Amino acid sequence: MNAGRLLSVENLDVDFGVYRGRSRVLNGISFNVDKGEKLGLVGETGCGKTTTLRALMRVLDPNARCSGKILYTIAGQDKDIYAMNAAEMLRLRRTEMSMIFQDPTSALNPVFTVGEQISSVIRANLVAKQESFSKNSITEKAVKALADVFLPDPERILESYPFQLSGGMRQRICIAMSVATERNLLLADEPGTSLDVTIQDQILRLINTLVETKGMSFILVSHSLGVVRKTSDRICIMYGGTIVESARTADLFASPRHPYTRALLACVPKLGGAGIAEGIPGEMVNYINPPAGCRFHPRCTQAFRACREIQPRPVALGDGHAVSCHLYATGS
Ligand code: SF4
């Protein structure tokens, strides 16, 4: 259920200094997330999904250059994340947003117990909100957070080090840390992909239930349309650092428009389908020297002259469905 805008990304560009020049990874991306809305960000590995999440948290590498606007709504006021000072940004991260990383092993510190790590997140949140607390109240919240992600014997797990637990348990602990305190926006970067498929499915269902129960907004990044279909109200398709199509989930599956979206859909395995999909021929964009015009044109079977020269702008198709492709531009 949507009740107003929470996040608005406007024309975001990100580039990184590399030894051969600058790598232009994000190229003018724009999207919104409403309160309580679940958004899927989908594309091949290397398309800029993780960079987008890191830009939202303002945790990009120090050599990254960022332009555009990211507006976050707090108490009815739009705040530009990149205009915040360090203290304001820290408070935003500790009270409003949290992120689940792809690899639970590297997300947890091996030299501290699970209890110490969850407690420090809870304590930082309470300090940022200027709320009083005691050691017992923090432990109670930590135990509840572990129980919320269905970890058995939470008291014992609080005393454990990450290496003493399985990969699935570590991923649940990362989720518990993200939802242990009240937040409005959860960002998840391919959670559970380092685990086997059945555990990954359980992890996604768990996150989805928690997000819905707590009324959080959610951005799920994945390379798989099949994965985000189950957990997203709306989907943005990314290719080569641009958003090429966005639509409500049902509309995107019923009526995909962009040639890249159609190619991605053809890669989703189907029960009783005709064999294994072969993937999309061609290489991902070279970000140091990206193709002119539409970044997908070297791989697009429908490319024509304008595609090689002019970058397509988003075309609104109605009902929140938009596509950036010359095939849909007026007059084409
Ligand atoms: Fe293909 Fe041209 Fe559309 Fe790009 S703009 S997806 S190259 S038809």
Q: Which residues of the chain have pLDDT under 50?
A: 1-2
Which atom, in ligand 1's list, is nearest to the CA of 304? 2
**CA 158 distance to own-chain centroid:** 28
CA of 271 to the centre of ligand 1 (A): 30
State pTM to two decimals: 0.91
What pLDDT score does 272 carry?
58
Probe residue for ligand 1, chosen from 285, 307, 328 as the CB with the greatest number of ligand atoms within 8 Å: 307
What pLDDT score does 197 carry?
77
By alpha-carbon position, which residue is closest to atom 7 of ligand 1? 297
CA of 311 to the centre of ligand 1 (A): 9
CB atoms within 10 A of CB 102: 17
Handedness of CA 114, 116, 117, 122 (dihedral sign): positive
**Contact of 227 with 204, CB cutoff 8 Å:** yes
What pLDDT score does 296 carry?
96
By alpha-carbon position, which residue is closest to atom 5 of ligand 1? 325
CB atoms within 10 A of CB 111: 7
Cα–Cα distance measured from residue 99 to residue 84, given in angstroms and rounded to the nearest whole number: 19
What pLDDT score does 118 carry?
95
CA of 287 to the centre of ligand 1 (A): 18
- Percent of the chain scored above 90 by pLDDT? 73
- Condensed to tens digits (0 to 9), the pLDDT of residues 288-314 reads 999 999 999 999 999 999 999 999 999
What pLDDT score does 304 carry?
95
Distances (CA, A) of 55 to 36, 44, 263: 21, 19, 28
**Contact of 199 with 192, CB cutoff 8 Å:** yes
What pLDDT score does 3 carry?
57
CA of 312 to the centre of ligand 1 (A): 8
Architecture of domain 5-96+183-329: 3-Layer(aba) Sandwich (3.40)
What pLDDT score does 40 carry?
97
Give residue limits of the domains in the chain: 5-96+183-329, 104-182
Pocket of ligand 1 (CB under 6 A): 258-259, 294, 296-297, 300, 302-303, 307, 312, 325-327
CA of 224 to the centre of ligand 1 (A): 21
- Listing DSSP states for 114-158 in one string gives HHHHHHHHHHHHHHHTT----HHHHHHHHHHHHHHTT-SSHHHHH
**Contact of 114 with 171, CB cutoff 8 Å:** no
CA-closest candidate to residue 241, choices 62, 41, 54, 49 = 49
Probe residue for ligand 1, chosen from 257, 294, 299 as the CB with the greatest number of ligand atoms within 8 Å: 294
- Tell me which residue has tokens 């084409």: 332
What pLDDT score does 198 carry?
79
Q: How many CA atoms lie within 13 A of 147 on its CB side?
A: 7
